[in-house]
Amino acid sequence: MSVSLLQIDAEALGKNAETVFRDKGGKRRNLKEEKLKQRAEDAKKEEMNEKYMVWGKGMAQKAQQEQTLQETLHEMDKPLARFKDDEVLDAMLKERERAEDPMLAYMQKKKAKENKGGSKAKAKPRYRGPEPPPNRFNIWPGYRWDGVDRSNGFEKEFFAKMANKKAVADMAYKWSVEDM
């Protein structure tokens, strides 16, 4: 019963058959299904990333970006040439703060007062007792401090040394310029 290879059907021999891919364990892999699963996972990850990108950006920054865009669009509608009597330009220039402006501090106080008028934010209480001992960092004591100095004396020594050093330097200077 020897059958020649020519007589056997081509399909039985596996001609034109699909390639079988196997994993490390020897199990068959369906590459089409795996590709579909991978695409679905990628789409899901992309959707989550977009969602978190929206969450990751702050609400204030988003609002500011929107406002800037609206202002830019508004400015684009205006003519390129502006004249002296343009009220919008005048208001914009008045609103601008310049470092060399002598009334800058006054205008900032005025703006702060206007902004504060709408909401009554409680200010943190401050210490209102006798003058506290000086410290190296000029930090004011907390409002509950009872006025008792509980330090180990380092600050007092530090300031004494600094004062002594300055006094010696002053005396040396005076001695060096004294008429002899």
Domain-embedded: residue 58: yes
pLDDT score, position 6: 67
Domain-embedded: residue 33: yes
- The residue among 126 and 121 whose pLDDT is bigger is 126
Domain-embedded: residue 141: no
**Taking 90 as the threshold, does the pLDDT of residue 60 lie above it?**
no
Domain-embedded: residue 48: yes
DSSP the chain: ----TTTS-HHHHTTTPPPPEE-TTS-EE-HHHHHHHHHHHHHHHHHHHHHHHHHHS-HHHHHHHHHHHHHHHHHHHS-S---TT-HHHHHHHHH---TT-TTHHHHHHHHHHHHHHHS-PPPPP---SSPPPP-TT-PPPPTT--S---S-SHHHHHHHHHHHHHHHHHHHHHHHHS--
Confidence of residue 122 (pLDDT cuts 50, 70, 90): confident
Average pLDDT of the segment spanning 41-49: 94
Q: Which domain holds residue 58?
A: 19-72
Domain-embedded: residue 38: yes
Chain centroid to CA 39: 34
Domain-embedded: residue 62: yes
Query: Number of structural domains, the chain?
Result: 1
Domain-embedded: residue 122: no
Average pLDDT of the segment spanning 24-39: 92
Average pLDDT of the segment spanning 98-119: 83
**Taking 70 as the threshold, does the pLDDT of residue 5 lie above it?**
no
pLDDT score, position 121: 61
Domain-embedded: residue 55: yes
pLDDT score, position 2: 59
Instruction: Copy the structure tokens of residue 128.
Output: 């209102």
Give the chain's mean pLDDT.
Answer: 86
Confidence of residue 70 (pLDDT cuts 50, 70, 90): very high
Residue 135 CB neighbours (<10 A): 15
- The dihedral formed by the CA atoms of 141, 145, 151 and 155, expressed in degrees to the nearest 10: 20
pLDDT score, position 91: 86
